Chains A and B, each alone.
Chain A
Amino acid sequence: MATGARNPLRQVGTQLRPEDTMAALGYYIPGEQERIDIQFLPGLEGYIWVFPRCGHLSVGICGKGQPAAVLRKRLEQYLNERDITWKGAAFYSHLLPSLDTGSWKKNRVAGEGWMAVGDAAAWWIRSREKGCTTRFVRPTWRPAPCFGSE
């Protein structure tokens, strides 16, 4: 089963508690750049990213223990400070699994007649904002991160 993190089936897959999740949201903004930007923010267990994609930038923020509205405001402030026009851009928002250490021990990944994969099993690499399936693909493109910290 691959239902994503918002699993409507109660009997199968990872049982996510609020502290085992984080919000991720952002905008697809027309534009180009050849690097990725990562911005850490004070007191945020997460970060802002600017990833170049084909014909647009995926700009987003993720953070654990922060309401989505607060994250959105922080992201928009970041974009305004850098004169990046986000108004009118396509908005996206996801719930991501981000298990606390204790929750890994009892992570429900399989049972009789089923197994969970992807977000439904909480397989998520925090430092890359990617599901673990990408881990099996050796990247040929080596991104050069441009780190920022306030």
Chain B
Amino acid sequence: MSEVAEKLVQYRKLLRRDFAADLEFGSRLAKRVFLGRFLFGSVPARMVQFTRRSPRFSAIMQDLFAGKQPYLGLKKRLFRNLNGSLYEIGMSLGFSRLLSRNARA
């Protein structure tokens, strides 16, 4: 392999390690995020609801939009926070029901 060709391969490897792999993974996620469905609703609608109800999920979304959360580690972080997020969502739903019941009484 010529020296230039070798350098090109090396450069592509460096790019991939630095951020290209992340962007490629992001392109795979995009369709699912924007057009996918989750729990009988659209993924964006669920994302908005979860963001409103769970501070943990909200922090993940903030980091994602601020560029602090790479796409590659997103799934892992979502799963790591799953229990906490679901707990917060459940509590928030239960609490709001309790409030509306008290308001009606």
- Output the residue of B4, B11, B65, B66 with the most chain A CB within 10 A: B65
Q: For residue A104, which residues in chain B have a CB less than 8 angstroms away from its CB?
A: 20, 23-24, 27
Q: For residue B62, which residues in chain A have a CB less than 8 angstroms away from its CB?
A: 142-145
CA distance A6 to B44 in the complex (A): 30
- In the complex, the answer to whether A143 meets B66 with C-beta atoms within 8 Å is yes
Q: Tell me which of A98, A111, A123, A144 contacts B19 (CB under 8 A).
A: A123
Given contacts A123-B19, A125-B67, contact A100 B4 (CB under 8 A): no
| Interface status of B42 (Cβ within 8 A of chain A) | yes
Binding-face segment, B45-53, B76-84, B86-94, B97-105: B45-53
Q: Which residue of A lies closest to B65 (CB)?
A: A145
| Interface status of A32 (Cβ within 8 A of chain B) | no
Mark contacts of A134-150 with chain B using CB atoms, 8 A cut-off: 1 yes-contact digit, 0 otherwise: 11000100111101110
- In the complex, the answer to whether B35 meets A45 with C-beta atoms within 8 Å is yes
| Interface status of B17 (Cβ within 8 A of chain A) | no
Given contacts A101-B24, A130-B67, A135-B67, contact A44 B34 (CB under 8 A): yes
Q: For residue B11, which residues in chain A have a CB less than 8 angstroms away from its CB?
A: 109-110, 115
Q: Which residue of A lies closest to B8 (CB)?
A: A110
Q: Tell me which of A40, A107, A142 contacts B48 (CB under 8 A).
A: A40
Mark contacts of A33-49 with chain B using CB atoms, 8 A cut-off: 1 yes-contact digit, 0 otherwise: 00010101011111100
- In the complex, the answer to whether B67 meets A46 with C-beta atoms within 8 Å is no
- Output the residue of A130, A135, A149 with the most chain B CB within 10 A: A149
CA distance A99 to B27 in the complex (A): 7
Q: For residue B31, which residues in chain A have a CB less than 8 angstroms away from its CB?
A: 45
- In the complex, the answer to whether A100 meets B19 with C-beta atoms within 8 Å is no
Q: For residue A40, which residues in chain B have a CB less than 8 angstroms away from its CB?
A: 34, 42, 44-45, 47-48
- In the complex, the answer to whether A148 meets B27 with C-beta atoms within 8 Å is no
Q: A42-B42, A99-B23, A135-B67 are in contact. List 6 more A-B contacts (CB 8 A).
A: A45-B34, A104-B24, A110-B12, A132-B23, A143-B62, A147-B51
Chain A residues engaging chain B, CB cutoff 8 angstroms: 36, 38, 40, 42-47, 64, 98-101, 104-105, 107, 109-112, 115, 123-128, 130, 132, 134-135, 139, 142-145, 147-149
Shortest beta-carbon contacts, A-B, top 10: A40-B44, A104-B24, A45-B34, A149-B48, A147-B48, A149-B45, A149-B44, A101-B27, A101-B28, A112-B4
